[in-house]
């Protein structure tokens, strides 16, 4: 539930209204994960239902300002204190594709690896350019770094696949 | 403007049945302002490619040009190398008994530049890469990342426009490694040509173009990017 907890984390430094939360969330995470305003309000009403935030008065433009509750503070601390399980992440299509290519036997696996490696390197180049451009905001740079490390891991794994399959031939 | 051009370059070590074909007809150009990364597993020919590009080794067939000079017909190759080409390696870069600025001055003094002028040039390059405050330190008083910065300054001093880097981020942590690549990138943006050999995708990704070498041949290349097409 990263959006839910992300909003709690932002509210922990002071009351904010929905649009402000959207802007600050995107400023921290970067354009890689845009948040639509509807999602922000749905999440806020669920947080309110669960007693983790409470709405205050509307400002002069009719926007409701939300405040984090003690239960909300507790939930946020629990979230930061709990490691993320690997199995919570979705299955990787590339892993399945390559395993199937090897299992099927009739596919040119080396070609699948080549294409993917070049595509992944292009992604890595784009991410690196974005990181160079992101001069302000350590949060955003670290998000990009995370994506860079993931793309790099994929690249290394592809090299490894190529080396192993070459040996088997 | 093309700074280094390899055309159908092959390099064979040994002869007959035991011959090793390190490179098999590789063509590659690096322009001024361009950062090109070469990736590949050990034994794919990366270092051979770099040595040929810098005139440290000669091809069995094919041609190598640095600027207008065909290396095969260049009379004083050592002088051309000193004038045009800078090298940065993984380690063993600096002379431990010389200070940072003395290390950077050294290639210019070998060129016959007087010490005072060589020192001025060295200080100018150090200032350009924000390392002027390290000038009087000895290599052992510097961190790994700082030593690599000094090595890059030495590779660039005297207006050399081609920089060949062989795993320059070797033993550095990723943050310091990123700093080194940022520095190389900035040098490219101010006109140098850099050919970088690395086996680390994260560093190759700083390049305008990434060339994948397999068994002595170019297996694939990422497209020339918008940056290099300016």
Q: Domain extents for chain B?
A: 2-94+160-222
By Cβ distance, the residue of B185, B201, B207 closest to A155 is B201
Residue A136: pLDDT over 80: no
Q: Residue B200 and residue A129: Cβ atoms within 8 Å?
A: no
pLDDT in tens, B57-104: 999 999 999 999 999 999 888 888 888 899 888 776 799 999 999 999
**Mean pLDDT, range B183-195, rounded to an integer:** 91
- Are A7 and A80 in a shared domain? yes
Which among A124, A149, A163 is the top mutation candidate for probing chain B, defined by the most B β-carbons within 10 Å of its own β-carbon? A124
Q: Cβ atoms within 10 A of the Cβ of B119, count? A: 18
Residue A121: pLDDT over 50: yes
Angle in degrees, CA B147, B30, A149, rounded to 5: 55
* pLDDT value at residue A89: 57
- Are A36 and A57 in a shared domain? yes
- Are A157 and A142 in a shared domain? yes
Q: Does B189 touch chain A (CB under 8 A)?
A: no
- Are A148 and A81 in a shared domain? no
- Are A105 and A41 in a shared domain? no
Instruction: Indicate the number of domains in chain A.
Output: 2
Instruction: Please give, rounded to a whole number of angstroms, the shortest distance from the CA of A57 to a CA of chain B.
Output: 46
The complex's ipTM works out to: 0.77
Residue B168: pLDDT over 60: yes
* pLDDT value at residue A88: 57
Supply B69's token pair: 């000079």
Query: pLDDT-derived band of residue B114, with 50, 70 and 90 as boundaries?
Result: very high
**CA nearest A115 in B: which residue?**
B220
**Mean pLDDT, range A145-169, rounded to an integer:** 88
Backbone φ and ψ for B74, nearest 5 degrees, come out as: -80, 125
Please state, in angstroms and rounded to a whole number, the distance separating the CA atoms of residues A3 and A42: 11
From A69, A86, A103, the end of a domain falls on A86
Q: For B29, left (φ over 0), alpha (ψ -120 to 50), or beta?
A: beta
Domain with residue A25: its CATH number is 1.10.10.10
- Are A11 and A81 in a shared domain? yes
Q: Does A160 touch chain B (CB under 8 A)?
A: no
B 59-88 → A contacts, CB under 8 A: none
Q: CB-based burial of residue B26 (10 Å sphere; 0-12 exposed, 13-18 middle, 19+ buried)?
A: buried
Residue B19: pLDDT over 50: yes
Instruction: Please give, rounded to a whole number of angstroms, the shortest distance from the CA of B33 to a CA of chain A.
Output: 16
Instruction: Please give, rounded to a whole number of angstroms, the shortest distance from the CA of A153 to a CA of chain B.
Output: 9
**Mean pLDDT, range B20-26, rounded to an integer:** 93
Query: pLDDT-derived band of residue A87, with 50, 70 and 90 as boundaries?
Result: low
pLDDT in tens, A38-67: 999 999 999 999 999 999 888 788 889 999
- Are A18 and A73 in a shared domain? yes
Q: For A76, left (φ over 0), alpha (ψ -120 to 50), or beta?
A: alpha
- Are A44 and A116 in a shared domain? no
- Are A76 and A95 in a shared domain? no
Q: Does B215 touch chain A (CB under 8 A)?
A: no
From A86, A112, A139, the end of a domain falls on A86
Residue B167: pLDDT over 50: yes
If one compares B224 and A157, the residue with the highest pLDDT of the two is: A157
Q: Residue B222 and residue A118: Cβ atoms within 8 Å?
A: yes
* pLDDT value at residue A85: 67
Secondary structure element (H or E) that encloses residue B24, with its range? strand B20-31
pLDDT averaged over every residue in chain A: 85
Q: B2-94+160-222 maps to which CATH number? A: 3.40.50.300
Q: Residue B201 and residue A151: Cβ atoms within 8 Å?
A: yes
* pLDDT value at residue B193: 95
Instruction: Please give, rounded to a whole number of angstroms, the shortest distance from the CA of A115 to a CA of chain B.
Output: 9
Q: Does A159 touch chain B (CB under 8 A)?
A: yes
Q: Residue A118 and residue B185: Cβ atoms within 8 Å?
A: no
* pLDDT value at residue B224: 54
Chain A residues closer than 8 Å to B205 by CB: 121, 124-125, 127-128, 148, 151
pLDDT averaged over every residue in chain B: 90
The boundaries of the domain holding residue A117 are 90-168
* pLDDT value at residue B160: 85
- Are A113 and A81 in a shared domain? no
* pLDDT value at residue B228: 39
Q: How far is CA A91 from CA A94, A96, A97, B49, in A?
A: 9, 8, 11, 39
Task: Please check whether residue A165 is in contact with residue A157, taking contact to mean a CB–CB distance below 8 angstroms.
Answer: no
Q: Does A128 touch chain B (CB under 8 A)?
A: yes
Q: Residue B220 and residue A156: Cβ atoms within 8 Å?
A: no
Which among A128, A135, A157, A160 is the top mutation candidate for probing chain B, defined by the most B β-carbons within 10 Å of its own β-carbon? A128
Chain A residues closer than 8 Å to B220 by CB: 114, 117-118
Q: Does B186 touch chain A (CB under 8 A)?
A: no
- Are A81 and A107 in a shared domain? no
């Amino acid at each position: 539930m990263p959006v839910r907890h992300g909003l709690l984390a932002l509210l922990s430094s002071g009351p904010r209204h929905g649009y402000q939360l959207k802007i600050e969330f995107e400023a921290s995470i970067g354009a890689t994960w845009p948040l639509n305003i509807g999602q922000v309000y749905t999440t806020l009403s669920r947080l309110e239902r669960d007693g983790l935030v409470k709405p205050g008065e509307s400002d002069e433009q009719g926007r409701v300002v939300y405040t984090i509750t003690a239960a909300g503070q507790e939930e946020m601390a629990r979230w930061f204190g709990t490691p993320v399980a690997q199995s919570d992440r979705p299955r990787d299509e590339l892993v399945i594709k390559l395993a199937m290519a090897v299992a099927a036997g009739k596919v040119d696996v080396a070609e699948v690896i080549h294409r993917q490696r070049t595509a992944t390197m292009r992604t890595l180049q784009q991410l690196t350019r974005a990181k160079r451009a992101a001069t302000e905001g350590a949060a955003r740079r670290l998000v990009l770094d995370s994506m860079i490390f993931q793309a790099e891991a994929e690249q290394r794994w592809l090299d490894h696949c190529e080396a192993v399959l070459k040996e088997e031939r | 403007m093309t700074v280094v051009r390899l055309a159908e370059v092959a390099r064979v070590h040994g002869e007959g049945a035991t011959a090793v074909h390190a490179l098999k007809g590789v063509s590659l150009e690096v322009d001024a302002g361009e950062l090109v990364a070469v990736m590949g597993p050990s034994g794919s020919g990366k270092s051979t490619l770099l040595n040929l590009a810098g005139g440290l080794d000669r091809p069995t067939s094919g041609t190598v040009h640095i600027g207008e000079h065909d290396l095969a017909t260049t009379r004083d190759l050592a002088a051309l190398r000193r004038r045009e080409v800078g090298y940065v390696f993984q380690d063993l870069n600096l002379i431990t008994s010389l200070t940072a600025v003395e290390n950077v001055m050294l290639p210019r003094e070998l060129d016959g530049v007087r010490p005072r002028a060589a020192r001025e040039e060295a200080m100018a390059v150090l200032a350009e890469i924000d390392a002027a405050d390290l000038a009087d330190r000895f290599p052992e008083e510097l961190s790994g990342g700082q030593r690599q910065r000094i090595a890059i300054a030495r590779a660039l001093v005297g207006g050399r426009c081609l920089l060949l880097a062989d795993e320059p981020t070797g033993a550095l942590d990723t943050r310091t490694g990123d700093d080194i690549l940022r520095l190389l990138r900035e040098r490219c943006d101010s006109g140098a040509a850099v050919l970088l050999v690395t086996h680390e995708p994260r560093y190759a990704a700083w390049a305008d173009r990434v060339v994948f070498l397999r068994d002595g041949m170019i297996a694939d290349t990422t497209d020339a990017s918008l940056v290099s097409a300016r």
